[in-house]
Amino acid sequence: MRQEEHPLIGRSLDMPHAPATIRPVEDAARFNLRISPDNLAEASAAWGAILPARIGELASSPGRLAACIGPDEWFLIAPLEEQGAIEAAFSALYAKTIHSLVDVGHREVGIAIEGPAAADVLQSCIAFEVGAMAMNEARRTIIDRVPIILFREAQERFRIEVWHSFSDHVWHLLAGICREYELGV
């Protein structure tokens, strides 16, 4: 008995002509890592890939995303099947290098925003200049009063990580805006 209820899985937009569309992102393991930047090399070794050193930087490797979202804070996304190995690696690290690794896999829901108008759709409700985000940049921000982490993974692809209780609001908001762009008004 391991039936999961994903708040958004199964949803889609029926807007074939919209210049931007949204979809729920497949499930993943997620962690909040807090560690002194002095110990970044050890943390990268435990993570298995380089962790970005600059706030706002997003490092992607196959199946994995690592975003530096604070002076000593990283948001990590990995395939579900790697969850145990990652936890074990950091658990081993703790004995010599203290840090905090907290499982937040179920805290978040991922929403992908894709298409030529993806940045414009987000700009409808985000106050900073979304189009000016670089590729592989991550930001904590607010969308219509909801706190999110926003990744720009490609010129025309963004990803929102949002707490699940807010995800319904964000989904319907973005769906309406995609419709507006489909109409071209």
Partner 1 sequence: MADFRIPGAGRVNHGKPVQFTFNGKTITGLEGDTVASALLANGVHLVGRSFKYHRPRGILSAGSEEPNALLGVDHGPARVEPNNRATVVEVTQGLKTISQNHWPSLERDIGAINDVLYMLFTAGFYYKTFMWPKSFWNKVYEPIIRGTAGLGKPPVEPDPDTYSSRFAHCDVLVVGSGPAGLAAALAAGRSGAKVFLVDEQTELGGSLLSETDASINGMSGWAWLKASVDELAGMDNVTLLPRTTAIGYYHQNFVGLCQRITDHLSSAPQGAPRERMWKIRAKQVVLAQGAIEKPLVFDGNDRPGVMLASAARTYLNRYGVKVGNSPVVVTSHDSAWLAAFDLARAGVKVQAIIDVRKAVPTDLKATAESLGIEVLAGWTVTGTKGRLRVSSVRAKPIDGGSEQAREFACDALLMGGGWTPSLHLFSHTQGKLEWREDAQTFLPAKHVESSRCAGAGNGEFGLANALQQGAAAGQAAAADAGFSGSGASYEIAGEIALGGTTLRELPTDRNTATAKAFVDFQNDVTAKDIRLAVREGFKSIEHVKRYTTTGMATDQGKTSNINGLLIASDAVQRPAPQVGLTTFRPPYTPTTFGAFAGYNRGRLFDVTRKTPIDSWAEEQGAVFEPVSLWRRAWYFPKPGEDMHAAVARECKATRDSLGIFDASTLGKIEIVGPDAAEFLNRMYTNPWTKLQPGRTRYGVLLGEDGFIRDDGVIGRLSTDRFHVTTTTGGAARVLNMMEDYLQTEFPDLKVWLTSTTEQWAVIAVNGPNSRNLIAPLVEGIDLSEEAFPHMSIAEGKIAGVPTRLFRMSFTGERGYEINVPARYGRAIWEKLMAEGQRYGITPYGTETMHVLRAEKGYIIVGQDTDGTLTPDDAGLGWAIGKAKPDFVGKRSLSRPDMLKTDRKQLVGLLTEDPKTVLEEGAQIVLDPNQAVPMKMVGHVTSSYWSVALNRSIALAVIEGGNGRMGETVHIPMPSGTLRAKVTGTVFYDPENTRLSA
Q: For the CB of residue 34, give the shortest distance to partner 1 in the complex, in Å.
A: 4
Going by DSSP bridges, is the β-strand pair 58-61/100-103 parallel, antiparallel, or unpaired?
A: unpaired
Q: Which is nearer to partner 1, 7 or 56 (CB)?
A: 7
Q: For the CB of residue 111, give the shortest distance to partner 1 in the complex, in Å.
A: 15
Whole-angstrom Cα distance, residue 57 to residue 66? 8
Q: Which is nearer to partner 1, 155 or 165 (CB)?
A: 165
Q: For the CB of residue 115, give the shortest distance to partner 1 in the complex, in Å.
A: 17
User: What is the length of the chain?
Assistant: 185
CB 21, CB 13: distance < 8 Å: yes
Q: Which is nearer to partner 1, 81 or 129 (CB)?
A: 129
CB 51, CB 43: distance < 8 Å: yes
Whole-angstrom Cα distance, residue 128 to residue 139? 10
User: Contact residues for partner 1 (CB under 8 A)?
Assistant: 1-7, 32, 34, 72, 94, 98-108, 123-127, 129, 132, 144-146, 163-166, 168-169, 172-173, 176-177, 179-180, 183, 185
Q: For the CB of residue 168, give the shortest distance to partner 1 in the complex, in Å.
A: 7
Q: Which is nearer to partner 1, 1 or 62 (CB)?
A: 1
Whole-angstrom Cα distance, residue 115 to residue 18? 8
Q: For the CB of residue 134, give the shortest distance to partner 1 in the complex, in Å.
A: 15
Whole-angstrom Cα distance, residue 34 to residue 43? 10
Whole-angstrom Cα distance, residue 29 to residue 80? 5
Q: Which is nearer to partner 1, 100 or 155 (CB)?
A: 100
